[in-house]
Amino acid sequence: MLQSVPPSWRDALAPVLSTPQARQLGGFLQAEEAAGKCIYPPRGTRLAALELTPLDAVKVVILGQDPYHGPGQAHGLCFSVQPGVKVPPSLVNIYKELESDLGLPRPAHGNLVAWARQGVLLLNNALTVEDGRAGSHAGKGWEPITDAAVAAVAAKPEPCVFLLWGSHARKKALAVPGLAQSHHLVLTAPHPSPLSAHAGFLGCRHFSQANAFLEAQGRGAIDWRV
């Protein structure tokens, strides 16, 4: 698997990718596909978050749980869907917050590649899922790999912003020793899901806070338009 990891991430991920657990993950995915199960996102896109956002370019980290589990949705970036796919409810709420916070009109599509190319790491906890079975690949070996990616960003000398939405994202990122007391900006809020968005995600103003911090650090704001 190490050979498929983009070059900028290889040194950070090499130790975890050499473990038996990582080899078991590869065997698990092969066995699932050999059994005829449909796995999302398709091969070639599962590491898209790392490919589109090199480690040295990361400015912002947004964490998701696992990929969308419907046909044609997932393409390797958390919260993002392919062009032409209906915008999922959580992303609708993210767009509502962008409109309220920055005055940006709500996009008609849900593709967030433009964010990733500017340094927004859109990383899920597990990078694959079985069709129709949310969370089905949790605990199968992705977590140590994505944990290592988060830790690599936390170790960067350049200040970054961690946008932690929901208890799952908070737990994952704040498990990195010292992150909360580091030179990075860590912002937390409820998940943008319709079940929790009105409990504090809507109105959190994370996007304007992130840009103000990045500009103050001389790193340049993110253009959140997609």
Rounded Cα distance between 164 and 64, Å, is 9
Q: Which position among 66, 101, 147, 223 bears the catalytic label? A: 66
Distance from C-alpha of 17 to C-alpha of 144, rounded to nearest angstrom:
9
Q: Is 66 a catalytic residue?
A: yes
Here the tokens at position 38 are: 């449909």
Residues tagged active-site? 66
